[in-house]
A and B are shown apart, each in its own frame.
Chain A
Amino acid sequence: MTHIIDDEILDNVCTLAQLNLSPKEREGAKAEMQKMLDFVEKLEELDTEGVEPMSHVFPLRNVFREDEVRNGDRREEMLANAPKKKDGQFQVPKTVE
């Protein structure tokens, strides 16, 4: 089941990843992704029927915090790196509905 990376898929990927590609970069990106997908297709040989997907290394469970306030006002620190800020807030281009 080879998936072909066409322009539509590439556009969708660029939207998901929030990246622009120049026309020149597009062809390269398509070819590279295609090559990588062809390569990983090898996994299809493996019978993984009934195998539990391993998203975490260890079966750690129930790692909790108690519901206690630990943090004070760290606003200045959190805003210190903001490219643009105003009135103690991060400033961004107008968000449209």
Chain B
Amino acid sequence: MELGKHSALELADLIRRRQISVTEAVKDTLDQIDRQEKEIHAYLYIDKKNALARAKQVEKKIAAGDMKGPLAGVPVAVKDNICMKGGKTTCASKILENFVAPYNAHVIDRLEQAGMVILGKTNMDEFAMGSTTETSAYGVTRNPWNTGRVPGGSSGGSCAAVAAGEAFLALGSDTGGSIRQPSAFCGVTGLKPTYGTVSRYGLVAYASSLDQIGPIGKNTADCAAFLEVLSGHDEKDSTSVKREDLDFSSALGKEVRGMRIGVPKEFIGQGLQPAVRQAFMDAMKAFSGMGASVEFLSLKTVDYMIPAYYLIASAEASSNLERFDGVKYGRRAADCAGLHDMYRKTRTEGFGPEVKRRIMLGSFVLSSGYYEAYYLKALKTRALIRQDFDRAFADFDVLLAPAAPFTAPEIGSSLRDPLAMYLGDIHTVAANLCGLPALSLPCGRDESGLPIGLQIIGDCFQEKKILRAASAFEACRGAFSMAWEKEAD
């Protein structure tokens, strides 16, 4: 593994300067996959043949000057809840075990136009419901830093792939922290953009008002460049926003002197793992040291974020997942006594326990007699949370928070108590409830060497402020090695 030390932008630069061919880059990454996949299991499918054919094609286009994007030729991994024409899209669920999408998600078209080379589809929590990638119907993904640990979730496969050098960039989706938390656990950088910035067309919906696709990479610059590829208005997604300020990379490399940075004190209360707290405090100091003003603030609604999130997400999920019924695609149970028996058997066999749990909760909170007490109450709470953030962003450019209260847990330890697992999303769900952009980047390691993530949250459409702060912090922090380099440092 030689190329792995480079970032995606550096690799693309080497390709442009003909120091290396796209085929070599893809082969090198496939080799890395071969060496590690058995242990990590970041991917659900890898299409070597297709990737190599595509590499040749891109190579020609680059040589002909038809493909000049800054990420042309870069090998990329795609989370398995994003539809890719002609390939399997299972959402890591048995119910979609044979589903081959007849169309491309909008972001897949974007990747291809940018000349990126898709290696395969990554593992995830089933239908993105989970925080550990253990709810996948196709086996757990292991954290490249310590294979006894989870990679986080739900985009655990994508984050593990980048951390293990099995991809230079990866697509994730974030409904309640599903990009940021596994990025923290795997020591990579992940960005959840402002809601509506990246088209959801072709993303298999978990909770439509919260879902957002985003980039996962080795550093801030890669994420910014990748987001430039992904973002932009799409007329196929009615919630897609028309915005002009998509030159995200322009925010990099600027100093943070004078930036107003807020730290919600409720986010660093009890429950934080000491190493996480320490790394976070160090990060705060680093920002002060760079001339930013760092101040505490109070978000009064913190205690209500997880309840509101789980009610809204489950309600939307219960409806979004109704289409998986054995009629049009995916699995259909055998030996059914009539239509409704088929529905029930198919869904009972096809969905895993966590998905069923959320579908049942969601069906209940929307049902007659409970709608107002639960679902509507959650929507109103959401509005109050949004007001809380509006007040915060009147005073601050960005907010700092841990990406997760702890580092990667041991495999098998989280699912025993779902509610405890949900509580681990305390730092991330607010960005989804309010549509805010937020980024997680490595800010340290705990006593056992596991990465710790720092989260930077911005107001809607303020990705550039986040990226400015993140790139400054990155420069100050110094290189953060990837998992396979861990012995080296």
Shortest CB distance B353–A (Å)? 9
In the assembled complex, which residues on chain B have CB atoms less than 8 Å from the CB atom of A95? 339
In the assembled complex, which residues on chain B have CB atoms less than 8 Å from the CB atom of A81? 98-100, 102, 328-330
Q: In whole angstroms, how far apart are the Cα atoms of A19 and B388 in the complex? A: 39
Number of residue pairs A-B, CB distance < 8 angstroms: 159
Interface string of B194-232 (1 = CB under 8 A from A): 011000000000000100000000000000000000000
Set B98, B342, B364, B460: member contacting A92, Cβ < 8 A: B342
> Any chain A CB within 8 A of the CB of B125?
no
Set B102, B347, B379: member contacting A19, Cβ < 8 A: B347
> Any chain A CB within 8 A of the CB of B359?
yes
In the assembled complex, which residues on chain A have CB atoms less than 8 Å from the CB atom of B380? 46, 48, 51-54
Set B344, B348, B374: member contacting A40, Cβ < 8 A: B374
A55 to B, closest residue via Cβ: B379
- In the complex, which residues 11-51 of chain A have their Cβ closer than 8 Å to any Cβ of chain B? 12-14, 16-21, 29, 32-33, 35-37, 39-40, 42-44, 46, 48, 51
Using a Cβ–Cβ cut-off of 8 Å, how many residues does chain A contribute to the interface with B? 51
Interface string of A64-97 (1 = CB under 8 A from B): 0100000000100110111110000010111110
In the assembled complex, which residues on chain A have CB atoms less than 8 Å from the CB atom of B98? 81
In the assembled complex, which residues on chain A have CB atoms less than 8 Å from the CB atom of B52? none
Q: Is the interface of A mostly helix, strand, loop or mixed?
A: loop
A46 with B304: CB separation less than 8 A: yes
Q: Is the interface of B mostly helix, strand, loop or mixed?
A: helix
In the assembled complex, which residues on chain A have CB atoms less than 8 Å from the CB atom of B339? 92-96
In the assembled complex, which residues on chain A have CB atoms less than 8 Å from the CB atom of B140? none
In the assembled complex, which residues on chain B have CB atoms less than 8 Å from the CB atom of A56? 209, 239
In the assembled complex, which residues on chain B have CB atoms less than 8 Å from the CB atom of A52? 380, 383
Q: In whole angstroms, how far apart are the Cα atoms of A51 and B387 in the complex? A: 11
> Any chain A CB within 8 A of the CB of B308?
yes
Shortest CB distance B129–A (Å)? 14
> Any chain B CB within 8 A of the CB of A4?
no
- In the complex, which residues 292-338 of chain B have their Cβ closer than 8 Å to any Cβ of chain A? 301, 303-304, 307-308, 310-311, 318, 322, 325-332, 336, 338
In the assembled complex, which residues on chain B have CB atoms less than 8 Å from the CB atom of A20? 344-345, 348
A80 with B364: CB separation less than 8 A: no
Interface string of B257-269 (1 = CB under 8 A from A): 0000000000000
In the assembled complex, which residues on chain B have CB atoms less than 8 Å from the CB atom of A3? 370, 373
B360 with A78: CB separation less than 8 A: no
A43 with B360: CB separation less than 8 A: no
Q: In whole angstroms, how far apart are the Cα atoms of A58 and B386 in the complex? A: 11
> Any chain A CB within 8 A of the CB of B351?
yes
In the assembled complex, which residues on chain A have CB atoms less than 8 Å from the CB atom of B310? 36, 40
In the assembled complex, which residues on chain A have CB atoms less than 8 Å from the CB atom of B367? 12-13, 16
Shortest CB distance B413–A (Å)? 18
Shortest CB distance B3–A (Å)? 37
A19 with B209: CB separation less than 8 A: no
Shortest CB distance B147–A (Å)? 30
Set A33, A60, A82, A94: member contacting B241, Cβ < 8 A: A60
A82 to B, closest residue via Cβ: B328
Shortest CB distance A31–B (Å)? 11
Binding site for A on B (CB under 8 A): 98-100, 102-103, 195-196, 209, 235, 238-239, 241, 301, 303-304, 307-308, 310-311, 318, 322, 325-332, 336, 338-345, 347-348, 351, 356-357, 359-361, 363-364, 367, 370, 373-374, 376-384, 386, 418-419, 434-435, 460
Sampled A-B contacts (26; CB under 8 Å): A13-B360, A16-B318, A18-B347, A19-B360, A33-B364, A36-B419, A42-B307, A43-B377, A46-B377, A46-B384, A53-B382, A54-B382, A58-B196, A58-B435, A58-B460, A60-B196, A65-B235, A77-B102, A77-B103, A78-B102, A78-B328, A81-B100, A83-B331, A92-B327, A92-B339, A93-B336
Binding site for B on A (CB under 8 A): 1, 3, 5, 9, 12-14, 16-21, 29, 32-33, 35-37, 39-40, 42-44, 46, 48, 51-58, 60, 63, 65, 74, 77-78, 80-84, 90, 92-96
Q: With A17-B356, A58-B196, A83-B330 given, can you name 15 additional A-B contacts, CB distance below 8 Å?
A: A13-B367, A14-B360, A16-B364, A17-B360, A18-B325, A19-B344, A20-B345, A20-B348, A29-B360, A32-B357, A40-B310, A42-B304, A60-B239, A81-B100, A93-B338
